[in-house]
Amino acid sequence: MHDQEALNLTEAIAYWREQPLPRALMALQEVAWFNPAVRPLAEALGDVGLGRAELDDAAARLARFAPYLAKAFPDTAASQGIIESPLRPLGALQPVLAAYYGMALPGQLWMKMDSHLPVSGSIKARGGIYEVLQHAESLALEAGLITLEADYGCLASDAARAFFGHYRIAVGSTGNLGLSIGIISACLGFQVTVHMSADARQWKKDKLRAHGVCVVEHEADYSSAVAEGRRQAAADPACHFIDDENSQHLFLGYAVAALRLQAQFAAQQIRVDAEHPLFVYLPCGVGGGPGGVAFGLKLVFGDAVHCIFAEPTHSPCMLLGVHTGLHEAVAVSDFGIDNLTAADGLAVGRPSGFVGRAMQRLIDGYYTVSDERLFALLALTAQHEQICLEPSALAGLPGITWVLAAQQRDYRARMALDAQQLERATHLVWATGGSMVPEAQMRDYLAQGQAALAA
């Protein structure tokens, strides 16, 4: 960075540190911010630089790989090799949530259970696996191993594995991305290295090592693990680095979720249109997962869908990046915020500049949630819906209360949302991980949840 830029950045941060919203974040309060710069899709889609053609291309690639996935991962055989998660109503939890927050919650509350995606049990089974498949396909096509019309089931062979064994894949992760990329890469035959940040759980590292993945443990946080992975991979032409902060492939892999959700809503006869708005609450780390899903949702449902990001009070990186307009130039540490949270999938101190810039006029708002709240909601969800999630995956649950809160009248007026539309609305909580959490760890989470509820 040039001296002048560094000086300007220092001045900008000093300015923002005195503003009301950053001050509330610095005090670790739970806050919401609905961005007045949001625009209709027709106006803002150009910011992304991707569109329906790219989304359909990604969906077609996943369909080509379905015969391979059905063979390589028996838990995808029932869905013919399509990696997808259930959609579930939260009929029992919705009144409990209303009582817990002490407010009426009209509309229908649903959960998208990416926590139960096959292969790796988190939202990362979308983007992470997609990018590895995309890379494997381009190598295999170039080598003449397959054609676009071939049955990709042939890639589950020793010969194909030996071929991919000449190539390397590297990634930096707080845990779940490493888990997804490690498992699929090792299965295809790649040599794969996962750079894990300090907050990654031991069981995730153990599981990867059991798959023959090289796990490098870092003392520092996610951004440092990514930087180190990127540096090591750059020196090796046979190595593909999966860049969680900037990758369009990852982004498109996540976006395909919207097409699948569209079919699931149709099957449940849930309407999404101007009179039946859809609100979607997405836990946000670096931004690729929620950004990609939100991009797909906007393409499919247009202005009838309202996407809102959720972050821990200790890691509100996307909120700070978009609110200040400084994007990846700022980290939560610039605001004295420590990036220490039990929501390990969201423990990211610096946002993706690519996602922040591409999506800032398409994301309605952002809010923060405390770790204590995540644990309390984890316990309530387990108790009333028998769904066990990891802490990160609960971040979407308070979203409905922010949208309906009395103080957000301006936001609802700006979106022309009246009481009737809110009665007919669907609120979708994106549950991003949890089905692979070991039992002992889950017992510990539940105990922390009970303690948080009692406090």
Pick 290 or 321: Cβ nearer ligand PLP: 290
In the list 81, 121, 365, 433, the residue contacting ligand PLP (rule: CB under 6 A) is 433
* 411-420: b (≥16 Cβ within 10 Å) or e: bbeebebeee
221, two tokens: 């946080």
In the list 286, 319, 331, 362, the residue contacting ligand PLP (rule: CB under 6 A) is 286
First-residue to last-residue Cα distance in the chain: 47
Give the 3-state secondary structure of residue 160: helix
Q: How far is the CB of 222 from ligand PLP (least distance, A)?
A: 8
Helices 124-142 and 288-301: crossing angle in degrees, nearest 10, is 90
Pick 146 or 431: Cβ nearer ligand PLP: 431
Q: How far is the CB of 451 from ligand PLP (least distance, A)?
A: 22
Pick 374 or 403: Cβ nearer ligand PLP: 374
Interface pattern 246-285 for ligand PLP (x via CB under 6 A): -------------------------------------xxx
Phi, psi of 401 (to 5 degrees): -70, -30
Residue 5 burial class via C-beta count within 10 angstroms: exposed 0-12, middle 13-18, buried 19 and up: exposed
d(CA 114, CA 260): 12
Amino acid symbol at 369:
V
Pick 32 or 417: Cβ nearer ligand PLP: 32
Stretch (H or E) spanning 368: strand 365-369
Please tell me whether residue 347 binds ligand PLP under the rule CB under 6 A. Answer: no
In the list 121, 172, 178, 290, the residue contacting ligand PLP (rule: CB under 6 A) is 290
Pick 200 or 404: Cβ nearer ligand PLP: 200
Q: How far is the CB of 424 from ligand PLP (least distance, A)?
A: 28
Pick 278 or 284: Cβ nearer ligand PLP: 284
d(CA 332, CA 317): 6
Q: Which stretch binds ligand PLP (CB under 6 A): 46-54, 345-353, 361-369, 403-411?
A: 345-353
Contacts of 7 (CB under 8 A, 6+ apart): none
Q: How far is the CB of 104 from ligand PLP (least distance, A)?
A: 28
- Comparing CA positions, the residue from 264, 276, 255 lying closest to residue 113 is 264
In the list 313, 341, 392, 408, the residue contacting ligand PLP (rule: CB under 6 A) is 392
Edge to edge, what strands does the sheet with 239-242 contain?
Answer: 214-217, 191-196, 168-173, 239-242
In the list 253, 277, 289, 399, the residue contacting ligand PLP (rule: CB under 6 A) is 289
Q: How far is the CB of 196 from ligand PLP (least distance, A)?
A: 13
The DSSP secondary-structure symbol of 335 reads: G
In the list 339, 368, 408, 432, the residue contacting ligand PLP (rule: CB under 6 A) is 432
Pick 132 or 346: Cβ nearer ligand PLP: 346
- Comparing CA positions, the residue from 245, 203, 246 lying closest to residue 349 is 245
Q: How far is the CB of 352 from ligand PLP (least distance, A)?
A: 8
d(CA 317, CA 199): 16
Q: 3-state DSSP: the chain helix, strand, coil percent, rounded to 5?
A: 55, 15, 35
Pick 71 or 116: Cβ nearer ligand PLP: 116
Interface with ligand PLP in residues 110-139 (CB under 6 A): 122-124
The DSSP secondary-structure symbol of 276 reads: B
Please tell me whether residue 288 binds ligand PLP under the rule CB under 6 A. Answer: yes
Beta strands in 44-196 (DSSP E): 87-89, 108-113, 168-173, 191-196
Rg, the chain, Cα only: 21
- Comparing CA positions, the residue from 350, 370, 393, 341 lying closest to residue 199 is 341
Q: Decide if 175 contacts 196 (C-beta within 8 A).
A: yes
Q: How far is the CB of 157 from ligand PLP (least distance, A)?
A: 31
Pick 284 or 452: Cβ nearer ligand PLP: 284
| Angle subtended at Cα 332 by Cα 331 and Cα 335, rounded to the nearest 5 degrees | 110
Please tell me whether residue 287 binds ligand PLP under the rule CB under 6 A. Answer: yes
Pick 70 or 377: Cβ nearer ligand PLP: 377
Q: How far is the CB of 80 from ligand PLP (least distance, A)?
A: 26
Please tell me whether residue 178 binds ligand PLP under the rule CB under 6 A. Answer: no
Q: How far is the CB of 267 from ligand PLP (least distance, A)?
A: 25
Q: Which stretch binds ligand PLP (CB under 6 A): 12-20, 145-153, 163-171, 287-295?
A: 287-295
Q: How far is the CB of 245 from ligand PLP (least distance, A)?
A: 9
Please tell me whether residue 379 binds ligand PLP under the rule CB under 6 A. Answer: no
Q: How far is the CB of 86 from ligand PLP (least distance, A)?
A: 16
Q: How far is the CB of 337 from ligand PLP (least distance, A)?
A: 17
Contact residues toward ligand PLP (CB under 6 A) are 122-124, 176-177, 283-290, 345-346, 348, 390, 392-393, 432-433
